[in-house]
Amino acid sequence: MSSPEWSAYVHDTLGVPVEAAEISDRVVAHVLRSYEERLPLLPGAEAAVARIAARSPLGLASSSNKEVIERVMESSGWGSVFECWVSSEEVARGKPAPDVFLEAARRLGVDPANGAGVEDSHNGILAARAAGLRVIAIPNLEFPPSAEALAAADVVIDSLADLEPGKVEG
């Protein structure tokens, strides 16, 4: 879900007595504070980004809030590596809808049929598939995608260490 979607869900469905926008603002503030202490990059992320960026333009299509993405790009040094980044709060619908991936492809000037999405979540895999991308799944071990989502992927690998340009390019 996008941040407007999940914060509305928390307010409306779970009954948290705080307005949805305030819920989102509080969560973002907490995340940004925690990123000051430690940026939670996945093991192998830096090397995988470097390997893929050496061969292909990179875009990020994320469910994270824009401020969180910008902090990661700034703190990691990836702001100069990724040509664009899109938060699902910038599009009409969050994952599993394809909107965030389609917008990233548009900004990159890439036909989705010639692009790829690397995803670790159920909704992310389904969103990349719906966008018409080649889908590389690296299942999140804490919140594993369903068998249905994994079946929608073109390639399933165990870790970012296994993410090679050939797997992305097909």
* Contact in structure between 3 and 88 (CB atoms under 8 Å): yes
How many domains does the chain contain in total? 2
Query: pLDDT value at position 3?
Result: 85
Query: pLDDT value at position 170?
Result: 77
pTM of the model: 0.91
Residues 32, 50, single domain; the answer is: no
Say which CATH number the domain at 100 has.
Answer: 3.40.50.1000
Per-residue pLDDT of the chain (170 residues; tens, 9 = 90+): 788 888 999 999 999 999 999 999 999 999 999 999 999 999 999 999 999 999 999 999 999 999 999 999 999 999 999 999 999 999 999 999 999 999 999 999 999 999 999 999 999 999 999 999 999 999 999 999 999 999 999 999 999 999 999 999 87
Structure tokens at 22: 């305030």
Residue of 141, 101, 99 lying closest to 118 (CA atoms): 101
Residues 27, 83, single domain; the answer is: no
Residues 49, 31, single domain; the answer is: no
> 71 to each of 24, 33, 74, 148, how far by Cα in Å?
16, 10, 5, 33
Residues 80, 15, single domain; the answer is: no
Residues 27, 75, single domain; the answer is: no
Residues 134, 164, single domain; the answer is: yes
Residues 33, 88, single domain; the answer is: no
Domain containing 28: what range? Answer: 3-37
Residues whose CB is less than 8 angstroms from the CB of residue 125 and which lie 6 or more positions away in sequence, other chains included = 119, 135, 137, 145, 149, 150, 152, 153
Residues 9, 66, single domain; the answer is: no
Residues 16, 50, single domain; the answer is: no
